[in-house]
Amino acid sequence: MFPHLLHLWLLLVFVQILLSLNTVAAGKVSAVIVFGDSTVDSGNNNYNLSPGKANFPPYGRDFDGGVATGRFSNGRLFTDFISEAFGLPRSVPAYLGNRYAADQLATGVSFASGGSGLDDLTSKSTFGEDKRPSFEDLAIPMSQQLEYFKEYKEKLKLNKGESLANKTIAEALYIFSIGNNDIGVNYFLLPIRRVQYTPPQYVTYLIGLAGAAVRAAYELGARKIQLTGILPVGCVPAMRTLNLHEPGKCNEEFNQLAMRYNAELQELAGKLNGELAGVVVVYADQLNSVVSAIVANPLHYGFENARLGCCGTGLIEFSVLCALEEPLTCQDDDKYVFFDSVHPTERIYKIVAEEIFKTALQVFL
């Protein structure tokens, strides 16, 4: 063979090897299946009684087509970016809006609900018109999210056949992103759990519930699982506003408990890997570590404002309050760490997803 033809042949073989490797990597994860709270709710709250919704402007203004899907941000969430990184669709659909669209849900689905928590009381606690505590589920608790997963599995079998459905379930990535409301709202802002538990005891209680949720998903076929650490909840704008001791500053008591929760969640991942046969559980800390780093030095990362949300005054508004004060919404949300007073912007979620994909999720490539 002539030398130049040999070089061409070797180049073609090399390209084919690279293409085959990329195809295998893309196929390592069949779907992205999500459980959690408003950090990963892609629209389920649109279909329940929760007053915490985001299916109206200014939410979604940077989403495809400028549609307010119910995501608590100006655009996509970190789970959407992770789906795209695995060669799957650009966004993970909400289950309740697509309960019978099995084809659409075959590559990903979110059961998450804004306001939800591991603790069922987190999803229940609200106040009725008579101002007395009401204990009806307004957000979808983790127990119900797992029931929806069971329902989803059966619909997938009907649509794809049992063999293909089982393969999809076994090769999917399961992302749990929950605990923000348990720590940031239920424990510190409501009275019941503080009477029952010390801060360390409450974290232990939550970790027990997280372990039970993962084991339940495992029994239903989950084998590739990501446990996601929670935000530095004391630094979200709403908690800065509510910090009566040091107004405008991060509430370090909230942050310390969030860090304790994250540390024990990471320990849980290791424990589950040793306990459950055939499972790979990874811990991703980037919602905490990346956001904390950016909040501490926003200018270094190209952000201008880490103290206020983009919508309204940025001090306390989220959900419908953002809609009521839409004219006050900032012009350039890429300069902001938070879109409303609780939730990060799409730009933050993209950075978080990129870091998770480069670190914790490499094991699935």
Alpha carbon distance 128, 14 (integer Å): 66
Pairing of strands 133-134, 126-127: antiparallel
| Assigned token pair, 79 | 């789970």
Please give the C-alpha separations between residue 279 and each of 23, 52, 163, 223, in angstroms, as whole numbers: 23, 34, 20, 4
Q: Residue 251 in contact with residue 243, Cβ under 8 Å? A: yes
Assess whether 340 carries a catalytic annotation: yes
**Which is catalytic among the residues 30, 38, 42, 113?**
38
- Of 91, 125, 340, 341, the active-site residue reads 340
> Which helix H or strand E contains 338, and what residues bound it?
strand 336-338
Whether omega for the bond prior to residue 200 falls within 30 degrees of 0, making it cis, is no
List Cβ neighbours of 23 (8 Å cut-off, separation of 6 or more): none
Distance from C-alpha of 246 to C-alpha of 340, rounded to nearest angstrom: 21
Give the residue from 353, 355, 306 showing the smallest Cα distance to 333.
306
Angle between helices 78-85 and 346-358 (to 10 degrees): 40
Q: Write down the H helix ranges in the chain.
A: 3-26, 78-85, 102-105, 120-124, 142-160, 162-171, 180-181, 188-189, 192-196, 199-219, 237-241, 252-275, 286-296, 320-324, 346-358
Q: How far apart are the first and last CA of the chain?
A: 37
Set 119, 292, 319, 343: catalytic member: 343
Tell me the C-alpha distance between 183 and 202, whole Å.
9
Strand, coil or helix: what is 205? helix
Let me know if 83 is a catalytic residue.
no
7 is catalytic: no
Q: Is the dihedral of CA 328, 334, 336, 342 positive or negative?
A: positive
Catalytic residue IDs: 38, 340, 343
